[in-house]
Amino acid sequence: MRLIYQKQEFLIPVYVLLKSLVDCTDALIYNRLVKGYFRNRQIGDRVEVLLNDSLKLSLFNQEQCLQYLGSRFRSALVGVT
């Protein structure tokens, strides 16, 4: 996901946003995103790639995702109330 704030562009992995909003398993995320499209393998493959991004970032639960977002945006959002 792309976020622009004060002429700065931030790219946030969708997986991080999903896991930071709700504490759930990767299997639940997969099932919710692919719901109704199980026959369309292309959608399932893309969701698997999305979930594999979490392994690259070593983010496995909601707390880790929130810490990741805070570490990236705390300095950019100084003074915002």
User: pLDDT per residue over 56-70, tens digit each?
Assistant: 889 899 999 999 998
Answer whether residue 3 is part of any domain: no
For residue 39, give its domain range. 13-61
What number of residues does the chain have?
A: 81
Query: Is residue 44 situated within a structural domain?
Result: yes
Q: In this structure, is residue 68 part of a structural domain? A: no
The whole-angstrom separation of Cα 77 and Cα 81 is: 9
* pTM (2 d.p.): 0.75
The tally of domains found in the chain comes to 1
Residue 74 included in any domain:
no
Q: Tens digits of per-residue pLDDT, 10-31? A: 788 888 999 999 999 989 988 8
Give DSSP secondary structure letters for 21-81: HS---HHHHHHHHHTT-TT-HHHHHHHHHHHHHHHHHT--SHHHHHHHHHHHHTTTTTT--
**Selection from 39, 67, 53, 78 nearest residue 1 by Cα:** 53
